[in-house]
Amino acid sequence: MTRLNGCGALVTGASSGIGAATARALAAEGAAVALVGRNAARLAEVAAQITGAGGRAVVLAADITEVAAPGQVVADAVAALGRLDIVVNAAGVMLNGSSLKRPFDEWRQMVDLNLTALMAISKAALPHLVAAAGSGRGVTDLVNISSIAGRTASAGAAVYHATKFGVTAFSESLRQEFARRNLRVSVIEPGAVSTSLFDHGDPVARARLAERLAEVEYLQPEDVADLVTHVITLPRRVALAEVVIRPIDQI
């Protein structure tokens, strides 16, 4: 028996990186997983990996920054899976650079995806998570992927930091609100992870970051996925509310 048999899980950003690795990890533990992201072809590849390993996955291609999309995605996930025990908000974008030179549209993109869409998915999922907590494992989980950028600020990344500080605060407030209703809310704050997150934004800012991390062995998405799985599969009495995970040599 695996630890998440009978559970329904929804993972955003599931087409690549931490989201894809988390979806595979949860499926390996027995959860049926709804894969959410914009790239239907890449979601289908992740779904094929899961089903090929004996798991169950449903592809829900959507742009969750659109107003109606989060509610529809959650409704479709519940319809397909029958219940919703786990939500992992892993979708995100980092578009850092000079606050004088970079366009405001990039700031809006980060707020829309990193914070607003995460809140909207969470809002739509809350009733289902509370309902599912009364059966099965006796606990449900909402896990938000933030960043160490949600703990300290640096120049050239004002809005990215703002979104991640927001995710951490949002998660802690929800944790307090639902702690007595058997819904655990956790926030995971990774350091440098080898994903496409670093491939966007201003080239100068990307070069500076790459130089700063030149001697760091980046985490792999699977490292974060293992942590997410650990958080979710702990006994009901244990809640890891906020966890930082860094490469050992990242200062």
Assigned superfamily of 8-245: NAD(P)-binding Rossmann-like Domain (3.40.50.720)
pLDDT exceeds cutoff 90 at 195: no
Catalytic (active site) residue 160: yes
Mean pLDDT, the chain, rounded, equals 95
Catalytic residue, chosen from 94, 116, 146, 160, is 160
Q: pLDDT for 225-241, tens place per residue?
A: 999 999 999 999 999 99
- Asked whether the beta carbons of 58 and 34 are under 8 A apart, the reply is yes
- Select from 79, 83, 75 the least CA-distant residue to 135: 83
Q: Which residue has the tokens 């605060």?
A: 169
Mean pLDDT of 32-49: 98
Beta carbons within 8 Å of 211's beta carbon, 6+ residues apart:
none
Q: pLDDT for 56-73, tens place per residue?
A: 999 999 999 999 999 999
- Select from 26, 24, 28, 21 the least CA-distant residue to 8: 26
Q: Where are the domains of the chain?
A: 8-245
* Torsion angle, alpha carbons of 233, 45, 92, 249, to 10: 70
SS3 call for 85 = coil
Predicted model pTM: 0.94
Give φ, ψ of 195 to 5 degrees: -140, 180
